Amino acid sequence: MLLITSPYHAGVVEAAGTWMPLALVYVAGEARAAGAEVEIYDAMSMYVSHEDIGRKIAEFKPDIVGTTAITATEPDARVICATAKAWNPAVRTVVGNVHATYCWEEILRDDPNVDFVVRGEGERTIAELVQAVAAGGEGYDRIAGLAWRKDGVPVANAPRMLCFDLDRFQPAFDLIDWPLYWYRPSPQGKLAIVSSARGCAQRCSFCSQQKFWGRSWRGRDPLQFVTELEMLRDRYGVAVAMLSDETPTTDRARWEKVLDLLAERGTGMEILMETRVDDVLRDEDILGKYVRAGISHVYLGVESTSQATLDLYKKDIKVAESKRAIDLVNAHGMVSETSFVLGTPEETTASVRETVELAKWYAPDMAFFLALTPWPYSEIGPEMESRLVTKDYRRYNLVEPVMKPDHMTIEELHGELHRATGHFFHDKFKNLGKLTPEKRRFMVKVLKLLIENSYLGDEMRRMAGHASMPDSVKEMLRESGIDLPIPGVPAAR
């Protein structure tokens, strides 16, 4: 079995590092336990082409080719399946992940190159599919969570029940090409993506996760999770771990045990995580434990500075609560990051710019301004159908607007999103001296990475070289190797 990632890039996450495909690591472990010979080919991280993928398939000669499809990578997932079929029509092709879970009928109806869709949590479904293929195709109709064609017609079997013992899975970390994965802001940045919990019990209307997990949440045993981190450190030299969990902090007692173990056992791991505003407020009295456990970077899904918009998104938080949570993260020396989702039907140039000013008041270390994207399976998807200007799924990446507000053109919204990020960081760097030395160094690294590796490169370079930026800051940036425009000198082309 050959598991392949899509060679897709939108210039968003690439700036900070190269990210391990954890879902395929878990699937590979279960497929191998079911008797398959498995390899992971991370086309995304290697920046290879579909032609390279074709050569890899011909070299490995798999019986099954598997890939995943979030909405933006769905077209590439189909190309991977077509490439496999062109090599050998008998190879079985399978697609999983959130988009495939909900759009399985469309995929199977429209694309004869896709044989199977795994719906929902995929490990056990893949294990049973491997065994069914090895048995000559017997028993597909008995595999829960599988969608396929029966007599040429797309059908979906019964849903797969979630696994509540997450520690039974054995992720195949040994199949990872570890030198590929690096967190660029850290000098010792060999990076692992890890999971301490799965699920999300929240109601956010624009998000896929609460639907995918059925608004459930499951946590791993704290000791087994921390032991896994120690294994990654000792066996593979991992220095940075990013939690893939949407909300690792849901169960405070369990989360506090994780923090205590990380501190007591001295793992020395730098940990990046996401959580909710209300969990940070709840944990105000133990945020010191976050720091002692090695947590250095906290992303909070604030999404909007407007209470009406937060209510539309069903975030179940208040504006003042978001501000307080960011202040607490900052006060404990951790890097604070958030994002703002813009482009609701009522959005205007003035409202975007007001959001930027309020984002400065929130004062996270980093803020990014994203386009509201109505995934075809999200709660708000049907409501926004008439506003879509494209159904090219490659553009459903939060960077390129695909939905037109009433009072802005798509081009105006796109321009304002770029301007918003530039103006936020301009304010942040003008006040760089107010940050701790550690955060100053971090922010300079981040700016360099955004300029060199992200879709925001030109905007960030203009921002840093603006006439209003203090000369002391410009000098600091140039000393760090950031190429800033010099007044009166044309930029190199």
Q: Which phi and psi (to 5°) does residue 137 adopt?
A: 95, 15
The residue among 239, 144, 206, 485 whose CA lies nearest residue 370 is 206
pLDDT of residue 195: 95
Domains and CATH numbers, the chain: 2-156 (3.40.50.280), 182-331 (3.20.20.70)
Query: Residue 188: CB partners within 8 Å, gap ≥ 6?
Result: 239, 240
Q: Is 349 exposed, middle or buried (0-12, 13-18, 19+ CB in 10 A)?
A: middle
pLDDT of residue 217: 79
Q: Is 100 exposed, middle or buried (0-12, 13-18, 19+ CB in 10 A)?
A: buried
**What's the sign of the alpha-carbon dihedral 315, 317, 320, 322?**
negative
pLDDT of residue 491: 41
Residue 72 tokens, joined: 């933006």
The whole-angstrom separation of Cα 335 and Cα 257 is 22
pLDDT of residue 169: 95
The whole-angstrom separation of Cα 180 and Cα 20 is 8
Q: Which DSSP helix (H) or strand (E) runs through 118?
A: strand 116-118
pLDDT of residue 320: 80
CA 108 to chain centre: 26
Question: What are the strands, taking DSSP E only, across 230-365?
Answer: 240-243, 270-275, 295-303, 335-342
Amino acid at 313: Y
CA geometry: angle 38, 43, 44, nearest 5 deg: 125
The residue among 196, 6, 12, 221 whose CA lies nearest residue 100 is 6
First-to-last alpha carbon distance for the chain, in angstroms, is 45
- pTM, entire model: 0.91
pLDDT of residue 393: 95
Count CA atoms closer than 13 A to 272's CA, side-chain side. Answer: 21
pLDDT of residue 89: 98
pLDDT of residue 478: 87
**Percent of the chain clearing pLDDT 70 (strictly above):** 91
pLDDT of residue 296: 96
The whole-angstrom separation of Cα 138 and Cα 132 is 6
| DSSP letter, residue 183 | B
The residue among 435, 412, 456, 443 whose CA lies nearest residue 15 is 456
Residue 84 tokens, joined: 């496999």
Walk along the chain (493 residues) in steps of 10 and give the mean pLDDT of each run.
95 85 97 97 97 98 97 97 98 96 96 97 96 93 96 95 92 97 90 91 57 72 98 97 93 97 95 94 97 96 61 58 93 94 92 90 92 85 87 93 95 94 91 89 90 86 87 86 64 37
Beta bridge pairs of residue 116: 94
Instruction: Give the CA distances from residue 27 to residues 23, 106, 169, in Å, rounded to whole numbers and listed in that order.
Output: 6, 24, 9
